[in-house]
Copies of this chain bind each other. A is one copy, B any other.
Amino acid sequence: MAASGHVTTSPDPARALELLSHSPIFGGAAPAALRPLAALGRFRTLRRGDVLFRSGDILETLFLVSSGSVRVYRVVRGGTRELTLHVEGPRQLVAGASVFGGDDPAPAHAVALQTPTEVLCLPAASVREQVFGTPALAAAVIAALARRQAELLARLEELVFSELGERLAVYLLDHAAAPHALPPNSDLAALLGTVPELVSRKLGEFYRLGLIELERRQVRVLDRAELERLAGRRGR
């Protein structure tokens, strides 16, 4: 199990302000509006696999990734399957919808993907107060939520209507521009909405077709044009 008992957090208002003012959400606000938030922030350092929160938790904290990355996912089918909703990197928000959406419990789990991953923890109540009272911040948060919603919609459509080969091709084109270390098949499966066995099969198939090169989990795209065709940048 991930270490959950003992966590280290530390304040650092200067770095917090730096991070806040460079994030897409809070960047639009005047430093004066951000200073009180920065003073309340606590940095927390995680290792790969460490749990940020669990589905069902009542969140009183908003997280802003400082370095590393955080994977947000749901566990379904009685725990037999996982679906990764998104992976957030530096300057991105985690748990935005939960914190602002009333006091509903979190709908997903969040764990660190890398060692180290550092997040800035902000108390929800203060964030809300500050955001609602600052038009520029309110606008930015609303825009961020709207964008996230559009992403979810695209993801929904992809998962429901396109088949595995297409989704994998999209992934490869998005992530493997340069030679790239492939995540474990179980992670890929969670991302693509399937199971590790099928990821293995499809990768093998792409390899046999000469579309990619596979060497000890390093992939390289060989036939970008064909992959894009498979990815469904097709004209029907």
Contacts and interface: CB of A to CB of B under 8 A. Distances in A.
Smallest CB-CB A-B distances: 7 pairs = A101-B146, A138-B138, A78-B236, A132-B135, A97-B146, A145-B145, A100-B142
A183 interface: no
Contact of A142 (B76, B77, B138, B154): B138
B138 A132 contact: yes
A156 interface: yes
Interface stretch (A109-117, A157-165, A203-211): A157-165
B193 A150 contact: no
A15 interface: no
B150 A153 contact: no
Interface in A155-180: 155-157, 159-161
Contacts of A98: 146
| Stoichiometry (number of copies) | 2
B193 A146 contact: no
A152 B160 CA distance: 13
Interface string A129-140: 001110110110
A145 B153 contact: no
A217 interface: no
A141 interface: yes
Contacts of A136: 132
Interface string A59-81: 00000000000000010111101
B153 A107 contact: yes
